[in-house]
A and B are shown apart, each in its own frame.
Chain A
């Protein structure tokens, strides 16, 4: 392997790394991926892929808490951030319970998977584009900052992302505030027809769609629309594209028609996972791989141009003092992920890409004293803040069926209120009260504690669980330089690599959105005659906040964004709009860390669009 001359070294095999590796190898470039996770998980076909995945599934079945990371290995030598490690922080106290060193005052509540395929293994699969105003928050609303690129700039890459992931959706349903009719483009359709919406969605939509709600003296009419998703349904024969190719003459990536679109089945069998089968476990694991994951993209790479080195944990980017060029990436390779013994290596190429997740990228750069002339590395850490409300419906709605969410209320994704408070999207959830109160297991234990048994117990469970409604208010967080990742020699993992130290808080702009969202939620509950069971517990909820005397609890959405943002100048940002570090011309950063703001879209689709754009810029640089 030492003798191979690589064009590009990529750190991480999640969706950004996979998209860039696929695009570059198909354009004839030699690529090495350094992946911190285990070898078994990188299997891309046949029995090996099946067996690795079945191990995940069996681990999930046996996990007492079926948290997002529960199916996947947590390695001492390459630890993952896990929501189960989040604890309420005492003032001035630091939590070192998990991989993150949480300094607070609030704990950061999102997690990710550190291993082959990255967090696409446990993502829900929601694939919403960001809205035009999300890219210009400063100029339109006087809040946070503008992106150096616009929605229109990113639009062709969104199309590539939708092809790559395999989005199922109905374009006609996608009416968002603040968009013009050319948001998707004339006659655009998604690769596959929409995922059927749940019965629960239909019941709730009956009284919620077109409901007029009042907020701060203004009336808004709610709409309930189908959600585009990265999981397989029925291919749309009107969808024209099937391929993304590098056009070397024009120096551009092009989305092209080659063959009729065919959906991406499981890695191990072309006849498994062609359609969502309704396992209702998208997070943390789709048993049939009907849901997209990044390994499907890696499988489409030109394998003769691709090497993947697993068990290789990157510790440092090596920079030449004089030229400020990256000369290599130093990694530590463990044999046993539970033991500190390791060998060291240096991966070299012409161009380097960090695609190891927002927090990991920032950590590696800080450890390398790299890319940080702006002092922005690690800053502006953001996530979606999920405020849940839950109640019982008079009519049975039959939750715990279908994908996690198939319908959303987009009404508050954009509007003039954004000069006052944050926007949000409201997915209608299909999985009952499992998230806030661990139903239905908790319903069983409570019933038993109350002495219920036999037919009465069975009836009680039926009556309660089939009526559980959960609404979800996913609030955008704006960038704050004090919400940040740092490193500290006091906190290292067994390989001697830094653990991320997190300072995190939530400002009034978001708290005000919790207040507003709760006002809207109350009106939805009233219109649907839902019996409210929402409880925000000041003692036990780790992310409990108070605004104007009212308490709210938010949870993490698993969207980790903004630690090495792109910007207009070397002073305000870590990367330029080409996603190249201002400080090092042969170092690109990829992933949600590049995003200056986050809007109300689950960020994976935008990250994927950005990854295609980055791949194009890397190819331009290599072909220069």
Chain B
């Protein structure tokens, strides 16, 4: 039986693989615990534990091999039929702050990584300052 700490570690590691953002970028959002809890609250116990078992195997078996890890994620985690689409839901959380169509919290919206990926900021927050839009992003 995995302890919650182990699961959070696995959640962090797999989130890096799923989102394309590194651990420092993910931690900087301050949302790790919130999203882990949202995942737990919105998934069935079975999906949740089978998902983490699969994650553990994927990360262990393909240690340090990017191509094979990605291949395993693509075939074992990304299909919507896998664990009720948990992998996609994790990406959605990190990118948009949503679980499905529900905004997890105001802070989750603000910390959405889609805005970083698009070299901008969430509308209504993290404002870049007067006139900044006149130039390409930094």
Query: Which single residue of chain A is at the shortest CB-CB distance from B17?
Result: A454
CB-CB under 8 A from A105, the residues of chain B are none
A444 contacts partner chain B, Cβ-Cβ < 8 Å = yes
The one of A275, A399, A451, A455 in contact with B20, judged by C-beta atoms closer than 8 angstroms, is A455
Q: A453-B20, A454-B70 are in contact. Are A445 and B92 (CB under 8 A)?
A: yes
Q: A61-B110, A441-B96, A466-B119 are in contact. Are A279 and B125 (CB under 8 A)?
A: yes
B98 touches A441 (CB 8 A): yes
Query: Which single residue of chain B is at the shortest CB-CB distance from A283?
Result: B123
Q: What separation, in Å, do the CA atoms of A450 and B73 have in the docked complex?
A: 14
A278 contacts partner chain B, Cβ-Cβ < 8 Å = yes
B101 contacts partner chain A, Cβ-Cβ < 8 Å = yes
B130 touches A276 (CB 8 A): yes
A454 touches B20 (CB 8 A): yes
A287 contacts partner chain B, Cβ-Cβ < 8 Å = yes
CB-CB under 8 A from A548, the residues of chain B are none
A214 contacts partner chain B, Cβ-Cβ < 8 Å = no
A281 contacts partner chain B, Cβ-Cβ < 8 Å = yes
B91 touches A458 (CB 8 A): no
B44: min CB distance to chain A, Å: 20
The one of A197, A287, A402, A445 in contact with B124, judged by C-beta atoms closer than 8 angstroms, is A287
A462 touches B133 (CB 8 A): no
B129 touches A278 (CB 8 A): yes
A62 touches B106 (CB 8 A): yes
Q: What separation, in Å, do the CA atoms of A197 and B134 have in the docked complex?
A: 6
A617 contacts partner chain B, Cβ-Cβ < 8 Å = no
Interface string of A49-74 (1 = CB under 8 A from B): 00000000110111110100000000
A233 contacts partner chain B, Cβ-Cβ < 8 Å = yes
B127 touches A459 (CB 8 A): no
Q: What separation, in Å, do the CA atoms of A458 and B16 have in the docked complex?
A: 11
Interface residues of A in 176-203 (CB under 8 A from B): 196-199, 202
A509 contacts partner chain B, Cβ-Cβ < 8 Å = no
**Which of the four size classes fits the interface of chain B?**
35 or more
B114 touches A440 (CB 8 A): yes
B127 touches A458 (CB 8 A): no
Query: Which single residue of chain B is at the shortest CB-CB distance from A64?
Result: B101
CB-CB under 8 A from B28, the residues of chain A are none
The one of B20, B98, B129 in contact with A459, judged by C-beta atoms closer than 8 angstroms, is B20
A285 contacts partner chain B, Cβ-Cβ < 8 Å = yes
Q: Decide if the interface of chain A is mainly helix, strand, loop or mixed.
A: loop
B124 touches A233 (CB 8 A): no
A398 touches B20 (CB 8 A): no
B125 touches A61 (CB 8 A): yes
Interface string of B70-110 (1 = CB under 8 A from A): 10011000111000000110011001101001110111011
Max chain A Cβ within 10 angstroms of own Cβ: one of B18, B87, B88: B88
B4 contacts partner chain A, Cβ-Cβ < 8 Å = no
A400 touches B118 (CB 8 A): yes
B50 contacts partner chain A, Cβ-Cβ < 8 Å = no
Query: Which single residue of chain B is at the shortest CB-CB distance from A198?
Result: B133
A457 contacts partner chain B, Cβ-Cβ < 8 Å = yes
A400 touches B20 (CB 8 A): no
A465 touches B19 (CB 8 A): no
CB-CB under 8 A from B115, the residues of chain A are 400, 440
Q: What separation, in Å, do the CA atoms of A26 and B128 have in the docked complex?
A: 38
CB-CB under 8 A from B92, the residues of chain A are 444-445, 448
B117 contacts partner chain A, Cβ-Cβ < 8 Å = yes
CB-CB under 8 A from A399, the residues of chain B are 120
A456 contacts partner chain B, Cβ-Cβ < 8 Å = yes
Interface string of A429-464 (1 = CB under 8 A from B): 011000000001101110011010111111101100
Query: Which single residue of chain B is at the shortest CB-CB distance from A276?
Result: B130
A444 touches B103 (CB 8 A): no
B130 touches A57 (CB 8 A): no
Max chain A Cβ within 10 angstroms of own Cβ: one of B80, B101, B137: B137
The 6 closest A-B pairs by CB, nearest first: A402-B133, A458-B20, A61-B106, A281-B124, A465-B118, A281-B123
Q: List 16 A-B contacts (CB under 8 A).
A: A62-B109, A199-B135, A277-B127, A278-B127, A280-B120, A280-B124, A280-B133, A287-B127, A398-B136, A400-B120, A400-B121, A401-B128, A430-B133, A443-B114, A449-B80, A465-B114
A interface residue numbers (CB < 8 A to B): 57-58, 60-64, 66, 196-199, 202, 233, 275-281, 285, 287-288, 396, 398-403, 406, 430-431, 440-441, 443-445, 448-449, 451, 453-459, 461-462, 465-466
* Extra contacts besides A61-B110, A444-B96 (16): CB < 8 Å: A61-B107, A61-B125, A198-B133, A199-B133, A199-B135, A278-B128, A278-B133, A279-B123, A280-B127, A288-B127, A400-B118, A430-B133, A441-B98, A453-B74, A456-B20, A459-B20
